[in-house]
Structure 1
Amino acid sequence: MPDAGFIELEGVEKVFDVRRRTGLLRRERHRVRAVDGISFRVARGEMVGYIGPNGAGKSTTIKMLTGILTPSGGRLRVAGVDPHRERTRLARRIGVVFGQRTTLWWDLPLRDSYRLMHRMYRIPDARFRENLDRCVELLELGDLLGVPVRQLSLGQRMRGDIAAALLHDPEVLYLDEPTIGLDVVSKAKVRAFLRALNAEHGTTVLLTTHDLTDIEQLCRRVMVIDQGRLMYDGTLGGLHEQGAGERTLVVDL
């Protein structure tokens, strides 16, 4: 049976102290609650959409799950591990893709970035070659391996980043806007690859996106966050039904 608590959050909060200038020499400190008491579980092998408006707390949640940020309150575990306290240990079990940032080396050819990750993660040679060959084939990266990252298009770089996140066989993959800015063809390639990855290897995927087509084609379950609070957790069909009775009227004057 799947592990019902592979990713676990119980009452997780994240509060930031923000200073705002209120005068020439005066600043006031405000507390901003980016994540407000969120609780959910993701089973091993699930592909779950995590959606909401800008500033809702999606990226903050991902950063806490990877150990980049420390929760202000609540309990958080990934594969039974506290991400912040055991970040190095957990790094070998997770992959992360931030759509607007790259983990690749800007001035190096794509191939050399992968070689560096080979050493950083201490991936056995045979396993590295197998994983790289698979990613190169499915993501169509063969003609790009000798190209410096700075010369890649956004879609090419995104495919390169996804491959980089998977070289060490992570058990869970966090995708933060992986198709942002991509053309239709590039989006289709990324989605097809993620479906194959989940089907063949049972990789757990938590996906944040503003593109509902990503959710429709990849996820059976969707969670909606707004103003730091979890507003919905269920199927996409259920979400459509929940909003079926709502209408918005826009009047231009």
Structure 2
Amino acid sequence: MIELDGVGRSFTIRRRVGRLRRETRVVHAVRDLSFRVEPGEFVGYLGPNGAGKSTTIKMLTGILAPTSGRIRVAGLDPSRRRTALARRIGVVFGQRTTLWWDLPLRSSFQLIRHLYKVDQKVFRRRLDDLSQVLELGPFLDTPVRQLSLGQRMRGDIAAALLHEPPVLVLDEPTIGLDVVSKAAVRGFLRDLNTERGTTVLLTTHDLGDIERLCRRVMLIDHGSLAFDGTLEDLMATAPGESTIEDVVTRLYTEGAREAAQ
């Protein structure tokens, strides 16, 4: 469902040095990145700030084109088939909303229905299902700006799934949520994956999300894949450490030390 083969992404940064001279520097955000995500997998994608997670997500969704290598998502090249890909994936950014700020939540969903050209009967059935499992009913007619963070996040997840995409990409979907809202979102995502077979790629700094949802974990550091395996395999890399947080922190530290050398 997701395939990357030797993918790289570089950025050229120019800055003024002195009054007349400019300095050019190339930053390699992603380096020779290769992995596959099979249909129905729930994969955690971890890495420290600046590791290349967001750049990877932007390439997977067609926002950025890779400098080198090959990407396929749901059989499409994201940067060249962005409109077609939008009908096959759902995307949730925890710190940004895809909803219309001044409109009631229900009206935002109606606009999304028109954007994706979803049949009215299919839309009603899908919205009823999502409203029930995500408990959207009490605030469907509330303007988005008046929703709590947990309510808005559930609205964003529903918006990403109204067109029934086979792939869901989540970037920090539980950031800032309270314990109750976080548990509700996690439970819904787990059921979505196990019962509907939706392929999910999750990036997060909340390792509780990883422990409760993901069967496979990938760790990116300085633009390269540092680990790819099950949670059990990850824990086995450090028998003396008892929590996933300890193991991931150690791997981050070792990666930073190697980069500095």
TM-score by length of 2: 0.90
Residue 45 of structure 1 aligns to which amino acid in structure 2? G
One-letter identity of the residue aligned with 1:133: D
2:167 maps to a residue whose letter is V
Alignment match, 2:215: 220
Tell me which of 97, 104, 109 is aligned to 1:114. 109
- Deviation at 1:130? 1.2
The answer as to 2:88 corresponding to 1:97 is: no
Task: Report the residue type matching 1:112 in the other structure.
Answer: S
Shift of 1:26: 4.1
CA distance in 2, matches of 1:188, 1:218: 11
* Mean Cα deviation higher: 136-145 or 169-178: 136-145
Matched, 1:154 2:129: no
**What do residues 176-227 of structure 1 show as CA deviations (whole Å, max 9, x unaligned)?**
0001111111110000100111122110000000111111111100000011
* Letter matched to residue 105 of structure 2: L
Q: Say whether 1:48 aligns with 2:40.
A: no
Q: In the alignment, which of 181, 193, 206 is matched to residue 186 of structure 1? A: 181
Q: Does residue 61 in structure 1 map to residue 81 in structure 2? A: no
Within 2, Cα distance between the matches of 1:223 and 1:242?
Answer: 14
Quote the offset at 1:25 in angstroms: 5.1
Residues in 1 aligned to 2:158 and 2:181: alpha-carbon distance in whole angstroms = 14
Residue 20 of structure 1: CA displacement?
Answer: 2.8
Instruction: Say which SS state the counterpart of residue 174 (structure 2) adopts.
Output: coil
Within 5 Å, give how 1:237-252 maps onto structure 2: 237-244=232-239
- 1:20-51 alpha-carbon deviations (Å, 9 max, x no partner): 34335543221111111110000001000000
Provide the residue aligned with 2:193 in structure 1.
198
Q: Which residue of 1 aligns with 2:135?
A: 140
| Distance of 1:174 and 1:203 partners within structure 2 | 10
Question: In structure 1, how many angstroms separate the alpha carbons of the residues matched to 2:227 and 2:183?
Answer: 27
CA distance in 1, matches of 2:138, 2:167: 28
**Offset, 1:152:** 1.2
- 1:39-64 CA deviation, whole Å, 9 max, x = no partner? 00000010000001011111111110
Please give the per-residue CA displacement for 1:221-244, whole angstroms capped at 9, x wherever unaligned: 000001111000001121122134
Q: Which runs of 5+ in 1 are unaligned?
A: 1-5
1:10 to 5, 23, 44: 5
TM-score by length of 1: 0.92
Determine the C-alpha separation between the residues in 2 that align with 1:199 and 1:186. Answer: 20
Is 1:230 aligned to 2:232, yes or no? no
**How big is the shift at 1:19?**
2.2
> Which whole-Å deviations, capped at 9, do the CAs of 1:141-195 have from their partners, x for residues lacking one?
1111111111111111111100000000001000000011111111100001001
**Which residue of the partner structure matches residue 36 of structure 1?**
31
User: Alignment partner of 2:192: what SS?
Assistant: helix
Q: Which residue, 81, 85, 88 being the options, matches 2:76?
A: 81
Q: Identify the residue that residue 118 of structure 2 maps to in structure 1.
A: 123
CA distance in 2, matches of 1:29, 1:144: 51
Identity of aligned residues (%): 69
8 Å CA contact 2:30, 2:222 repeated in 1? yes
Unaligned residue ranges in structure 2 (runs of 5+): 251-261
CA offset at residue 85 of structure 1?
A: 0.7
CA distance in 2, matches of 1:220, 1:239: 11
SS of the equivalent of 2:91 reads: strand
Equivalent runs, 1:159-178 vs 2, <5 Å: 159-178=154-173
Counterparts of 1:187 and 1:193, CA distance in 2: 10
